[in-house]
A = this chain, B = another copy of it.
Amino acid sequence: MEEDIIHRIFASSPEDDDFLPKTVEDIFNDFTGRRSGFIRAFTTDAARFYSLCDPEIMNLCVYAHPNGTWEVNSPVEVLPPNLPQPVLGINFAIDGMQFHDWLSFVAVHSDCWLLSISSFFSANARLTRHDRNRLFDLINNLTTLSEVVTIHHAIQTLFQVMTRSAYYRR
């Protein structure tokens, strides 16, 4: 089955990962690389990320790659895909949601996707129960993307309030 999975990942994934992580450390590195990409998309690159999610275009997904980059792209065309896929149609949710709520929504689903990917690699590597526990302990000790978005929003709001109050004190 393993060869078939590898073949299909390259056939259906928009990524060009050149290896499948096989150890707890490699899977965790893959996780943290993709997580960095998402953090960039949801904080410093948030305006560009938002502008790419045009609700007029067909359904879009946000992908993050192990090298810390991110991209908004169409879902894979080959069904079933091999790698678990991120949530479909994030651009349709823009209509009718506040910017911060939309970002939180995408962040929650991206957290789910990151765990899915790690679970997929962990099954492919046939990790033992002990190793799975170790991997998910490492993962769960990190701040989730959903928490990062909330903290970033709180800091931005605080900054705005402080700037405004400094303006009024002039």
Contact = CB atoms under 8 A, between A and B. Distances in A.
Interface of A: 1, 4-5, 59, 79-81, 84-85, 87-90, 92-93, 97, 101, 104-105, 108-109, 111-113, 115-117, 119-120, 123-124, 129, 132-133, 136-137, 139-141, 143-144, 146
A1 to B, nearest CB: 5
Contact of A79 (B88, B105, B144): B88
Contacts of A108: 120, 123-124
Contacts of A120: 108-109, 112
A78 to B, nearest CB: 9
A111 B104 contact: no
A137 B133 CA distance: 6
Contact of A141 (B85, B112, B133): B133
Given A112-B123, A115-B119, A132-B144, 20 more contacts: A1-B105, A4-B97, A59-B79, A59-B80, A79-B89, A80-B88, A80-B109, A84-B113, A85-B87, A85-B88, A112-B115, A112-B116, A112-B117, A115-B115, A115-B116, A129-B140, A132-B140, A136-B136, A136-B139, A137-B137
Contact of A111 (B117, B119, B144): B119
A89 B12 CA distance: 13
A73 to B, nearest CB: 15
Contacts of A109: 80, 84, 120
B4 A101 contact: yes
